Chain A
Amino acid sequence: DVMLTQSPLSLPVIPGEPASISCRSSQSLLHSNGYNYLHWYLQKPGQSPQLLIYLGSNRASGVPGRFSGSGSGTDFTLKISRVEAEDVGVYYCLQTVQPTWTFGQGTKVEIK
């Protein structure tokens, strides 16, 4: 199975400052169709995960423009241009290029 490794696992942030999370894959997530099958989710306390970014860099409907995704192959990054208090929670990456889909361990973002 594909393994995803996120870093850092804990990220204290200051509102208004940028933040960045890395997701590294044990295998390439680039499909022959040209898309990277790597996605980002945010799970707020007490809620189900919600989709932020799909296929590497596409913001899901309703997701604020301060969230962006980049990367290709095995290295991916989620960036928040200016963190807001409502962005706290656990961020997960997910790969769907293989038949067995796997998640990263999660990165807990909290206000410093």
Chain B
Amino acid sequence: HVQLQQSGPGLVKPSQTLSLTCGISGDTVSSNLSAWNWVRQSPSRGLEWLGRTYHRSRWHTDYSTFIKSRMSVNPDTSKNQFSLQLRSVTPEDTAVYYCVRAERTKGTFDIWGQGTLVTVSS
């Protein structure tokens, strides 16, 4: 039974870095059958895929074009988790952020974290 547990602050000041972590149980971050994603949701922009990391002989990362310059997704094999860092945030980055597993045979997201509301405000 796979579960994802998110952690991180709910309030970030403008121009600072948003950092979230997603702990994995029931799977491993280095699995060849899974990819580990961040998705966010806001009333104005809906659901947006942000980026992913996954291991297929070596580590790969992909990012959505609109956020690529500000974002990093990193695996941590020692803690079986992965993280999101979003730099230079503005109020438009206020959203619920989800960590999500994508399972290779289904070709899509199948397990979601509980979501973290992150507000960007001074």
Give A contacts to B, CB under 8 Å. Answer: 1, 35, 37, 39, 41, 48-51, 54-55, 58, 60, 92, 94, 96, 99-103, 105-106
Contact = CB atoms under 8 A, between A and B. Distances in A.
Interface of B: 46-49, 62, 64-65, 98, 102, 106-110, 112-115
A101 B66 CA distance: 12
B47 A49 contact: yes
Given A101-B49, A105-B46, A1 B109 contact: no
A23 to B, nearest CB: 13
A5 B28 CA distance: 35
A51 B112 CA distance: 9
Contact of A100 (B47, B65, B115): B65
A78 to B, nearest CB: 14
A105 B114 CA distance: 21
Given A1-B65, A37-B107, A55-B106, A49 B112 contact: yes
